Structure 1
């Protein structure tokens, strides 16, 4: 609605109502015609006018932007005050809503939510010439969250306050009572209850209520919106501490995330640019350690600027494509392609390739294993050496070295074939390409019944591994001689071996040192081994009994 000419809008969330002023003027005119409005001498009228002017000045000084004066020069004077009820912490609103279902079309349930601010009560007043000496101000009350009967109770209470102090200025008393006693008078000390209208109720309704007919759903939505607006306004005007730099700033200098946490703009800009610069865009979430909520793209755009935001978009797209199991990259132009039964076609260069070996598409042919591909490349390398000036010689040599390194230090993922290399830890591996788990020892997918004992690597499996330095062959030779004995690691239970008489064993799987004699983890050798601890060098009695007394070099060589 538009305010009347000369009126002003307050910041209480409710606009002045011309309809309410019109109704008040009709009430005053009717009372004058019926004789309820007395005719007063001029000196009494001048006294009342001065008292009204003084009261208006006092109300304007006390309530400020909560007071809307419709027309300062008009007589009689009319205005509206937005009264904010005092509510305790944890104040709740319970609304009775309808939820129609097949068997119960008119079923009802209560929706309860907490608020920190209630929509104000609109008190619209008109001061007749006989106020305050003989007649009270004409008024209307408007409350969004009360029904007509309860608003009528409030109107009768304002009449009783005037009756107790007739002949005195009463508007300030009305506002104070509405602000502090409305909820307790209606029995809403802990929270208000909004119910569906009951058509069977016949309680009288006061004509002075100024209430727009709204459904319960609309009332609930208005209360929620008003509470959010007031909380945001209070946040912007208050001082807060940034939990990154621990400095105090006004709320207008903070960035508030959807999760509810807020940090100063300078810290959020630095935090966002750092992750984009380092490429760790998947970690660009709420800086709170226990949250991890997302940061909206429109907010990131304002924090990063155009250039960094475009880089963030590219990185997010790249990470998303990398996490998709059916996306492969063209080996020629590195364009993302959709995989279809181990084959894909690049939309940019139109190259059709096998997603397993990344070579040309070979329908009906068995895909090359890495070992077979290495042999093929080595043959091509031999041809290159015979043909001088071969243009692709450098790339071919690099590819051969790369495949050799992959075969030597990695195993293929059983799900997607990506080469995986273990640096440390147990056999439980997760492929970064397809995000699926498998066992590094047996190279099989993990399932709920899989145990580490099913894939322990004994010396027969060790002999099948590639070993250019001959260390595994030496270990197998010592196993056959009985020089070393298998011992499970106390940390990860991986099978390790005691070499000779040395009880100090190192687990390659979890990178932990332990003692073969007491089967405990060794933190410091100088503290664990000694007169009061374990002996670092002891002969295993079982091995000593089974060891041959004499073996010459020829016998060792045959083994």
Structure 2
């Protein structure tokens, strides 16, 4: 009996030296307890079913092991949730070495977990394995061998992946405990390691670092706090992402498709991760508001308040207003290059869907006519472009003539100085300011070195900005805009000249009929402008020739002798007195020399337009005007 006690004490003493975490019972020296960590080599897939009445059994929703979609649900509406856990609560082993051990009796073992996540059938099989080992070892000491067997089983995940569907089903009430334990275990292991910060490149302990949730890159907390706080203060929401330069990049080539795939993987960080770094709640709240504002502005279906002093967005179920950070739930599909929303249908929305309420001032209005809410049974008309105010028209014309749209997101961009290589702040697209062509991000200046391009050797054109430089030629969409603007300015200038020359129309005279609208058969604005200038030149030439003809006729008339008045006939029966001829000559009208002198004086003073031609008598029946 003493030898058996010595053997039990000897075995427990040896196991305690190997496993310091072994705890002996104070009341029973042959009773011990040990917690064995459970960290499977491959993350264990755990299923948390929801308590839904009438839901199909889990075995019907799981795909068979070995398939491409192994571990995924077969139905999108399946009432359960899947998580992959790398650490699980430890397996607690209670050992009792009874009297007569090891020669006569096997050790008594009991396994348990807290919470009880391990299935009971698996627990019973593991407990039965102890007696089998005792038999295999010929009734010898098997405590160490049994502990080693449990450790190997925990590393394999207790072969739970070989069960139906390759998943472990756990009750929903254990979800929070299992997830918290997995996070804490990963954090403890991370804090014990040493990493090189990707920003300052200095070795730091894991306790002062943060690992990115999506990609796993490690940075020290001070570097992340400085960068993210500055980005949030400046409103640069797109920079709130992993700071590794190669994170999410496609290494297979710099093609258009690979660039698009790369942009889709550039995702901004979740606000909950910013709180884990940690950042102040005020900074995270501002980040959430800026991110929501950016989404609202990029969505074409967003309706804004018609009040000029408010103009806040209407309440949206798609982008709800966040008042508490604990209510934030974002999916992993949130990326920087979101899919642009589809355009609204051409048909007007039904009357029941026209009510909108401003989230800032709580003003209820109609989304179609932008008036106060008038109910569902009132007919309203949509607002057209002809109903724009003068300020809106002036703003639109300025943006249209003095900006170049981005070829990707159509954001208007204006250059104040520098070269014509532009980089859109909204989507980071490289494009040409003159023609709007996409530029290669690796070599954007190649576009300006190709002789067959319209922008050849024009990199530094408009170096001081394009405002006030309407004479510069644009090759892209703004080319027609500049031509139309030039034609409109010419029409306005011609109208002002005609009004100043002709003066206001007399009363009773109908105004000139408006020009008919331009059709597809009409010449382009540039051709019409050239034709208008040619017509004006022809009219001026005809006026000049008429003036030359009048001056030549006047000169020939001045060179002729003055016409003599006709002499009255004398009657033979009534002899005239001797002084009759003299009296007749005295009674003759004066020669028109005074009128001619006055006309010449007016010609010298360039006032011949006010001369009345009736003052001269056309004696010779007209003036001789040479032909051209």
- Normalised to the residue count of structure 2, the TM-score between the two structures is 0.42
For the pair shown, which has the larger CA radius of gyration, 1 or 2? 2
- Normalised to the residue count of structure 1, the TM-score between the two structures is 0.46
